[in-house]
Amino acid sequence: MDIVLPILPSSIVMNIRKRNLSYKKNELIIGDDAVFHIVDGQHRIAGLKMFKKKSYEVPVTILENLNENQEAAQFLVINSSQKAVDPQLQLRVIYKSDTYGINKLLNEVKKVIPWQAWKLKALKIAIALEKEGSSPWYDLIKIPNEEIGSGEWKPLREGSFLDSLRAVCSGGNPIEYLDDDKKIMALIEYWKSIKKIYPEAFNNKTGIDYLLTKGIGAGVFNTFFPNAYTLLLSGVVKDFDEVLIPIKKVFL
């Protein structure tokens, strides 16, 4: 009895960065020196390489003349609605594909799915806040696929923290014109002031009782940040403490 091999219905997407395709009598002609760059399907190709059967047909979609940033944008479009890949892991893959050319990458993403572009900015800020030793969020955010060791306390998933930064990174907010590095430095100082008011919320023994270091708390304070920073920049207050201490009085 012949065994019918399961199919891979989703096509592997490849791109030829330099034009090397032509058509003749309804046939696609690919130049001998064409180089294919995998846009989507890396894991499927790796699995096929390990497969014992020498011949296995898979559908392939060939793109042409896209640059690396455009490839990354296409990857995000293809995977943004699938459940098989953690959406936050997708963002990290995209971000790491061109960390230093993030502005060009953002422009490409804006052309294809403009409503998602703010998340790449948010990821840059989140990574900075979770990696910077002086940040109150240092080592408190669980990144995608990270295994938490015994005794470790990471109260907030990176995805939830990204969502909390929407007001900081999306268009139309009062500090939209500021570059990301200034926002990062200001956010660190802002959260230092918050930690000064609520130190127990950032303690691995007492923090479990606080919503502040969970999605709802991060969401409330990060949403308020653009307004707080505007007050500071305009000289209405001298520091974030002056903005936040009255809030403590309201909630105590």
Amino acid 21: pLDDT: 80
> Is 226 domain-assigned?
yes
Q: Are residues 21 and 134 in the same domain?
A: no
Q: What is the mean pLDDT of the chain?
A: 84
Amino acid 65: pLDDT: 87
Amino acid 106: pLDDT: 64
pTM: 0.64
Amino acid 226: pLDDT: 96
Q: Are residues 124 and 233 in the same domain?
A: yes
| Average pLDDT by stretches of 10, the chain with 252 residues | 54 87 83 88 85 79 89 84 60 61 65 72 90 95 86 91 93 88 96 95 92 94 96 95 82 46
> Is 124 domain-assigned?
yes
> Is 132 domain-assigned?
yes
Amino acid 3: pLDDT: 37
Q: Are residues 53 and 91 in the same domain?
A: no
Tell me 252's DSSP state.
Answer: -
Domain count, the chain: 2
Q: How far apart are CA 25 and CA 88, in angstroms?
A: 45
> Is 223 domain-assigned?
yes
Beta strands in 4-114 (DSSP E): 12-16, 21-24, 27-30, 36-40, 60-64
Structure tokens given for 171: 């268009």
Q: Are residues 215 and 109 in the same domain?
A: yes
Q: How far apart are CA 238 and CA 252, in angstroms?
A: 24
Q: How far apart are CA 59 and CA 244, in angstroms?
A: 57
> Is 81 domain-assigned?
no
- Mention every residue, 6+ apart, whose C-beta is less than 8 A from residue 114: none
Q: In the listed set 36, 66, 96, which residue is the last one of a domain according to the structure?
A: 66
Amino acid 250: pLDDT: 53
Q: Are residues 220 and 137 in the same domain?
A: yes
Q: Tens digits of per-residue pLDDT, 139-155?
A: 999 988 888 888 889 99
Question: Pairing between strand 60-64 and 21-24?
Answer: unpaired
Q: Tens digits of per-residue pLDDT, 170-187?
A: 888 899 889 889 999 999
Q: Tell me how far the alpha carbon of residue 49 is from its chain's centroid.
A: 30
Q: Are residues 106 and 42 in the same domain?
A: no
Q: How far apart are CA 84 and CA 40, in angstroms?
A: 13
Tell me 19's DSSP state.
Answer: -
Q: Are residues 25 and 129 in the same domain?
A: no
Q: Are residues 49 and 101 in the same domain?
A: no
Name the residue range of residue 197's domain.
86-251
